[in-house]
Amino acid sequence: MRQRLLKLPEPGRAQLTKRDALGALGICLLSFLSTFPIVIPFILIGDARLALRLSNVVAIGMLFVADMRLDVTPGTGPGSRAWRWSPSVRFWSELR
């Protein structure tokens, strides 16, 4: 196997293509746009504790909306599962 690998030609130099650059830019933009709403309370509110709580509410709200939009359970309407408690939430609430 080593001999076969030594006989292979040297690979060419990797180059950054326009498609690669646009993909990287798109991922950076997606990352920025998905985290910016969570940062807004810290920018607008001076009290860090209140800003943290509001940031958590925004994050949970974004997750809820994303779940409603992406829920594709067959035989039910879109977002039908989002209103039900998940088993993990029931488990943690029973521990209190």
Cα(19)–Cα(67) distance, rounded to whole angstroms?
A: 30
> For residue 17, what pLDDT band results from cuts at 50, 70 and 90?
very high
The answer to whether residue 44 sits within a structural domain is: yes
| 40 found inside a domain | yes
Measured distance CA(50)–CA(56) in Å, rounded: 10
Query: Token pair of 12, please?
Result: 């060419």
Q: Is residue 79 part of a domain?
A: no
d(CA 39, CA 35): 7
9, part of any domain: no
Amino acid type, 82: A
Specify the number of domains making up the chain.
Answer: 1
The answer to pTM > 0.85 is: no
The helix/strand count (H/E) of the chain reads as: 4, 0
10: in domain:
no
- 8 within a domain of the structure (yes/no): no
Write out pLDDT tens, residues 48-91.
999 999 999 999 988 888 877 776 665 565 555 555 555 555 55
- Judged against a pLDDT cut of 70, whether residue 22 lies above it is answered with yes
Task: Indicate whether 66 belongs to any domain.
Answer: yes
Domain-located, residue 28: yes
Domain that holds residue 51: 18-70
